[in-house]
Chain A
Amino acid sequence: MPTGRLAVWWIIASEIVIFGGLLASYVMYRLAHDAFAEQAAHTNTWIGAFNTFVLLTSSLSAVLAHQAADAGDGPKAARLLQYTMGGGLIFITVKAFEWTSEIQHGFTIASNTFWSFYYTAAGIHAAHVIAGVVIMGFVANTARRNLELQRVELIGLYWHFVDIVWIFLFPLLYIAK
């Protein structure tokens, strides 16, 4: 396996255990406290679903960018990566509105354990989205000049990982009521 890809897989492996620890704790609490269901009812499933859709679509353009990079078309790969970044930005913006409204309704991170988990897990995930968008900006920038095209694949791998984490978070935080 090429060294870069190997390294990204190792990064992903160590990230998985971080989210794994957090989510396993959440699941244990969730099983022990029925009150979580009641609290989870206050989350907005539609917004969550919309964001899931946005993120999945952005992963698609990351895949297409990888294809373009494989074909040696740097500018096209860069353009597709920009769509992915756009998806990430929409995700964050929506999240910001969602959180603002929840906080206005009095559900803050200190309200109770459910909301502590809700903001912590989604917050760490959002931090990964932001980091991904920033790094993707750099990658797109070099790819446009047909340089370091293998990086398009690497950032894509990372982005799929961020996506998959959300696929776990969405049902756990929004749907399992």
Chain B
Amino acid sequence: MFTGMALAIVGGFFSYVFRMQMAFPGMNVPGWGLVTPADYNMLVTNHGAIMIFWVAMPVLIAAFGNYLIPLMIGADDMVFPKINRLSYQIFLLSAVVLFVSFFVDGGGSAGAWTMYPPLMSKDEYSLTGTGSSVFLVAIALEFVAFLLGGINFVTTAMNARAPGMRYQDIPIVVWMIVIATVVFMASVGPLVAGAIMMLFDQQLGTAFFDPNRGGDPILWQHLFWFFGHPEVYVVLLPATGITAEIITVFSRKKLFAYMTVVNTAIATGILSFLVWAHHQFVAGIDPRMANIFTVTTLIISIPVAEMMFVYIATLYGGSITLATPMLWALGFIFTFLIGGVTGIFLGASGADIYLHDTYFVLAHFHYTFFPIAIIGAFAGITFWFPKMFGRHMNETLGKIHFWGTFFGFNELFIPLFITGVLGDHRRIFDYSNFPELTTPMMDGMRQFATISLIVMLGFQLVFLYNFLTSLVWGRKAEKNPWLANTLEWTTDSPPPHGNWPELPTVYRGPYEYSVPDRKDDFWPQNVPS
């Protein structure tokens, strides 16, 4: 988790540098200097890659998975602790290799996070040499780390549950992490194969993606998005799981339709393999294919919308406490709904052909990824902080941080939806070359967005301060500060080695809140009837 947070700072810094260039082209950016076009490409590429592969996945899946799975299913540890350690070490190595890629000949990879050839495979186009290859190695290592860790997660959840815990007693966040892991394992293969092919194209002169010699650059797009689209659900599912846990605890209500949500998540995972070509609507695919992928894409928004409505139904009529974790959970639902709704526009191939690669797409996926990666992570951290470190975070600072981030984020991306519809194209270094795009209004919106970003990043300092001071001086946390049912709250805060002196026995599902005729409004899973 700390590694993930450190990398988030790097990723955040990159976004600050290139947004400054967007808003004030040609200016000397404090902390970086003059941004050249090559710098710009390098920065956006690595911003995207870092945020997804080195922040969202490690924090949401690896860190929370490692911490929560054993504690929530009542196990003393993961079934293969050694593999666990190995997985983390490989992950760390991948981060080091990524940093090496910034400093080798030609600088960091600049082929965009989607790494499309020929930009990525030919030095002449991307103007980076060795950096792209080192970057691919970093990605490959990162995947190996996740495959190893994933095997551990799934096996642990299947084989190490506490006595009495049936599948329908597993807390939803564990379900979500496991489903996400399986989706990851089933989707990443083609990209691993593709990455090897790309590396060989760069270093050995193979012709996989070179049209002059019988290769096909579009093949990469298929391999990438066959992984890339499921990947968005890989990070989405754990975040929705975290949200669900928080919502039921802070509204003191049973999670509405709990098993249905689990089944929906499985269905979403499967569907996510059937929509990848909506990223190729403009790549010259057969219009009949485009229609099929339009339909599958629209279908997948149904289960996603369903999950959100289930959460809203859970809130309905509950006695809601607006503690910091709950604010994050509600913020998640709000922002993610906007992301989902704009996705439907893009899913229709006709609309997408106009909107493709504009800032509208960029705003869409930030409205989905930001709730997931950032809001989801903050929700989880603020919720489990007392358990992890045995101390409380400061609520006032937590709320300041939440509102600052929430408003900052919306003010950053709403203008970008608009500039996108008006024609701002992605990956353009300097709009001043396009007079029709540099009206005072559009310039103003770009600057407004950038300033919002800086404000939002500034509010992260509040979080850092709160996090670090609470570690040392926070109020001591009791075992179960939120009066929750799941097993992790039945052991000491922080949990001792082996988690419990004696493994708990499970008697019921995880969401028995406000059961009529009971004195307490919660009913921990390990308390006999």
Residue ranges of A at the interface with B (Cβ–Cβ < 8 Å): 1, 3, 6-7, 10-11, 13-22, 24-25, 28-29, 33, 35, 109-110, 112-113, 116-117, 119-120, 124
Contacts and interface: CB of A to CB of B under 8 A. Distances in A.
Contacts of A109: 200, 204-206
Given A21-B223, A25-B223, A124-B196, A110 B189 contact: no
Given A3-B155, A11-B151, A110 B193 contact: no
Interface string B208-235: 1000011110010001001000000000
Interface stretch (B48-56, B92-100, B180-188, B328-336): B180-188
B205 A17 contact: no
B225 to A, nearest CB: 12
Interface string B160-189: 100000000000000000000000011111
B318 interface: no
A6 B186 contact: no
- Name, among A10, A11, A109, A112, the residue most crowded by chain B CB atoms within 10 Å (CB to CB): A10
Nearest to B213: A112
5 contacts: A3-B79, A14-B150, A17-B186, A29-B214, A116-B215
Interface of B: 79-80, 147, 150-152, 154-155, 158-160, 185-194, 196-197, 200, 204-208, 213-216, 219, 223, 226
Given A17-B188, A21-B223, A113-B213, A6 B193 contact: no
Contacts of B205: 109-110
Contacts of A22: 190, 193, 196-197
Nearest to B83: A7
Nearest to B186: A17
Given A14-B189, A21-B223, A120-B196, 9 more contacts: A6-B159, A10-B155, A13-B185, A17-B185, A17-B187, A25-B223, A29-B219, A116-B215, A119-B206
Given A109-B205, A109-B206, A110-B207, A10 B196 contact: no
Main SS of the interface on chain B?
A: helix
A22 B223 CA distance: 9
A112 B155 contact: no
Contacts of B204: 109-110
> What 7 A-B pairs have minimum CB-CB distances, sorted nearest first?
A17-B189, A21-B190, A110-B205, A116-B206, A21-B193, A22-B193, A18-B189
B186 A33 contact: no
Contacts of B186: 13-14, 17
Contact of B200 (A6, A7, A20, A120): A120
B155 A20 contact: no
A20 B190 CA distance: 7
Given A17-B190, A35-B214, A10 B185 contact: yes
Contacts of B150: 10, 14
Given A6-B159, A28-B219, A113 B196 contact: no
A20 B191 CA distance: 11
Contacts of B155: 3, 6-7, 10
Contacts of A120: 196-197, 200, 206
Contact of A14 (B158, B185, B197): B185
Contact of B214 (A13, A25, A113): A113
A110 B155 CA distance: 41
Nearest to B199: A120
A2 B299 CA distance: 38
A24 B190 contact: yes
Contacts of A18: 188-190, 192-193
A151 B218 CA distance: 43
